[in-house]
Amino acid sequence: MNGEIEHTLRGSWTPSGAASAPLSPSALRWLRHRIGLTETTTPAVPSSLLDVPGSSLADTPRAELEALLGERHVLVDTAARLGRAGGMSYSDLVRRRDGAELAVPDAVLLPSDPELVQGVLEICARHDIAVVPFGGGTSVVGGVDALRGGKNAVVALDLVRLDRLISLDPDSRIAVLQAGMRATEAESLLAAHGFTLGHFPQSFERATIGGFAATRSAGQASSGYGRFEDMVEGVRLATPAGEWKLGVAPASAAGPDLRQLAIGSEGILGVITEVAVRVRPAPRRSRYEAFVVDGWQAGTDAVRALAQERVLADVTRLSDPTETEVQLALSGQLKARALGNFLRAKGVRNPCLLVLGWDAGSRTELKQRRAAAVRALRDVRTVRLGRAAGESWKSHRFSGPRQRDALLDRGVCVETLETATSWSGLSELRSAVRTALVRNLQTGSKPPIVMCHVSHAYETGASLYFTVLAPRDAEHALAQWQRAKEAACDAIAGRGTISHHHAVGVDHRPWLGAEIGDIGTAVLTAAKRAVDPTGILNPGKLIRD
């Protein structure tokens, strides 16, 4: 039961009780030199100093909700409401640190089973109250913003108490999980039965099964285990029009696959209460290894070869020269200098780090898969860094966001964005987004750091994931990022998808029409009308209300 998850004002990523990831003195020195950091630290404003409007949930619906869920599970206190005031994007964190422009829900509802979720929707529909489904609250696109959409009130429907493993069918390799279950909990419950889901996004420590399904999430091992939608066998949704269950067989020709309408619906077509997922036997062996490739083009050629020869490692991750430089610098200057010398001696001018990680059932399988991958790389010159570097990447793979906290404290604008396109357009898209970000983030004399990696590869193309580090414009922090983000999205539109795995939410909505067309928007709007005639579900997200 993970009902104890802390939800006070979330100005940082690091869960309470978990180790933070401070920046080392050498990392700070390097950042000062590279982007011109000042000495100022900008800690979050204490939540006791925030001016939060009172709840506007009227007495009658509140009494009905309390009768349904019990008083303890209808929270109107400021701390609980602030804890669900938005997601985890840079803008969300800056808003909460500054205590400005917070959209706070009027109440937090905590149902414990699908029938109660259905009951909540019926009450909210009757009283015209907006409902924001809330999983781990890790959205980075405004997906859990408490937008009222012209309704009488807005509630956060926190699914934290829907946290049970409903069934596990080992013959079919299908587990039915409740939507509010955290990824960490899902992995440990499945491990007890010898299985894994294999879904490891960087938000693993906080995000939920329902959130993954609602956003078409992709984990770090997507090249081997697939994206989350590839794992979904069935979904159960509560909607204002009634309960909707989808998925009865592994494949079907019974019309369009409506599961795909539910997956990625971002809370606007129903509240996902259960997900049937495909599971795999937990690996007995794994091997993570790092290589260096000379230059971005050689690196993407290497990943394309792995994808097109269908021998991708489960984790296949290529960093561009800037990301490689940053990873080395943040890992310590001595190491960085020694490695730099080693690579220069090998004739590598533009090092790009390539991490490959395999999970397997046996030593033989592991050996065969690795050998096949090495064969596919025969035409690309790679320098092997070995297992220690690969294993080190693996052991730090969820700690990046904790360093984000330390960077935010130091007044750094640190944010990510992502897209995907076909192989032939990948490098042009990377250049276009980089140019847009660099131009729009610069505040002083030194250019911001804009780094990029490929972490999800397909036979026909790949994702691009950008991370920026720039001195924060202290006066106009939100506007600084907003400008850069808009320019990057404009550069993406027409060249790639507006989101490969972060979803649309509020932030990407202006660009969705260009991707799915007017007819696509009309189809989504019609589907919404069918299940949510009065538009109470997650107003302002994905499509225009």
- Residue selected from 240, 417, 538, 540 as contacting ligand FAD according to rule CB under 6 A: 538
Strands (E), 247-374: 271-278, 280-281, 285-294, 315-319, 351-360
- Residue selected from 44, 80, 132, 329 as contacting ligand FAD according to rule CB under 6 A: 132
Name the residue with tokens 């193309």. Answer: 461
Is 541 a residue that touches ligand FAD (CB under 6 A)?
yes
**CB neighbour list of residue 299: distance below 8 Å, 6 or more residues apart:** 293, 318, 320, 352, 354, 454
> 3-state class of 455 per DSSP?
coil
Q: Which of 206, 242, 225, 238 is nearest to 277 (CA)?
A: 225
**CB neighbour list of residue 368: distance below 8 Å, 6 or more residues apart:** none
Binding residues for ligand FAD, total number by CB under 6 A: 39
Partner residues linked to 130 by β-bridges:
154
Q: 465 an active-site residue?
A: yes
Supply the minimum distance, in Å, between the C-beta of residue 239 and ligand FAD. 10
Judged by beta carbon, residue 380 or residue 465, the one nearer ligand FAD is: 465
Stretch that binds ligand FAD, among 56-64, 184-192, 264-272, 444-452 (CB under 6 A): 264-272
Judged by beta carbon, residue 297 or residue 416, the one nearer ligand FAD is: 416
Is 468 a residue that touches ligand FAD (CB under 6 A)?
no
> 3-state class of 375 per DSSP?
helix
Supply the minimum distance, in Å, between the C-beta of residue 346 and ligand FAD. 32
**CB neighbour list of residue 465: distance below 8 Å, 6 or more residues apart:** 416, 417, 418, 452, 453, 454, 455, 500
Supply the minimum distance, in Å, between the C-beta of residue 404 and ligand FAD. 7
Q: Are 280 and 198 in contact (CB under 8 A)?
A: yes
Ligand-binding annotation for 135, yes or no, is yes
Is 138 a residue that touches ligand FAD (CB under 6 A)?
yes
* Catalytic-labelled residue, pool 90, 225, 288, 465: 465
Supply the minimum distance, in Å, between the C-beta of residue 400 and ligand FAD. 7
**Residue list 192-231, contact with ligand FAD (CB under 6 A):** 201-203, 207-208, 210-212, 214-215, 217-218
Is 271 a residue that touches ligand FAD (CB under 6 A)?
yes
Supply the DSSP symbol for 18. S
Question: Judging by DSSP bridges, how do beta strands 195-196 and 174-178 pair with one another?
Answer: unpaired
Contacts for 473-477: CB closer than 8 Å, 24+ residues apart: 473/413, 473/443, 474/40, 474/42, 474/411, 477/94, 477/98, 477/413
- Residue selected from 83, 119, 133, 471 as contacting ligand FAD according to rule CB under 6 A: 133
Q: Is 139 left (phi over 0), alpha (psi -120 to 50) or beta?
A: beta
Is 130 a residue that touches ligand FAD (CB under 6 A)?
no
Stretch that binds ligand FAD, among 29-37, 72-80, 139-147, 507-515 (CB under 6 A): 139-147
Q: Are 290 and 354 in contact (CB under 8 A)?
A: yes
Judged by beta carbon, residue 238 or residue 376, the one nearer ligand FAD is: 238
Supply the minimum distance, in Å, between the C-beta of residue 444 and ligand FAD. 27
Supply the minimum distance, in Å, between the C-beta of residue 63 and ligand FAD. 26
Rounded to the nearest 10°, the torsion over CA 71, 113, 119, 109 is 40
Judged by beta carbon, residue 95 or residue 501, the one nearer ligand FAD is: 501
Supply the DSSP symbol for 475. S
> 3-state class of 149 per DSSP?
coil
**Residue list 85-124, contact with ligand FAD (CB under 6 A):** 87-88
Which pair of tokens denotes residue 455? 């972490």
Ligand-binding annotation for 267, yes or no, is yes
- Residue selected from 10, 472, 502, 508 as contacting ligand FAD according to rule CB under 6 A: 502
Is 351 a residue that touches ligand FAD (CB under 6 A)?
no
Supply the minimum distance, in Å, between the C-beta of residue 319 and ligand FAD. 15
Judged by beta carbon, residue 269 or residue 353, the one nearer ligand FAD is: 269
Supply the DSSP symbol for 46. P
Which pair of tokens denotes residue 452? 């990029």
Handedness of CA 302, 303, 309, 315 (dihedral sign): positive
Ligand-binding annotation for 269, yes or no, is yes
Partner residues linked to 453 by β-bridges:
319, 465
Supply the minimum distance, in Å, between the C-beta of residue 465 and ligand FAD. 8
Is 276 a residue that touches ligand FAD (CB under 6 A)?
no
Residue 526, burial from CB neighbour count under 10 angstroms (0-12, 13-18, 19+): exposed
**Residue list 395-454, contact with ligand FAD (CB under 6 A):** 401
- Residue selected from 86, 111, 119, 137 as contacting ligand FAD according to rule CB under 6 A: 137
Is 503 a residue that touches ligand FAD (CB under 6 A)?
yes
Binding-site residues from annotation: 133-139, 266-272, 404
**Which positions lie near ligand FAD, rule CB under 6 A?**
13, 87-88, 132-140, 143-144, 159, 179, 201-203, 207-208, 210-212, 214-215, 217-218, 266-267, 271-272, 401, 501-503, 505, 538, 541
Binding-site residues from annotation for FAD: 133-139, 266-272
Residues with catalytic annotation?
465
Binding-site residues from annotation for substrate: 404
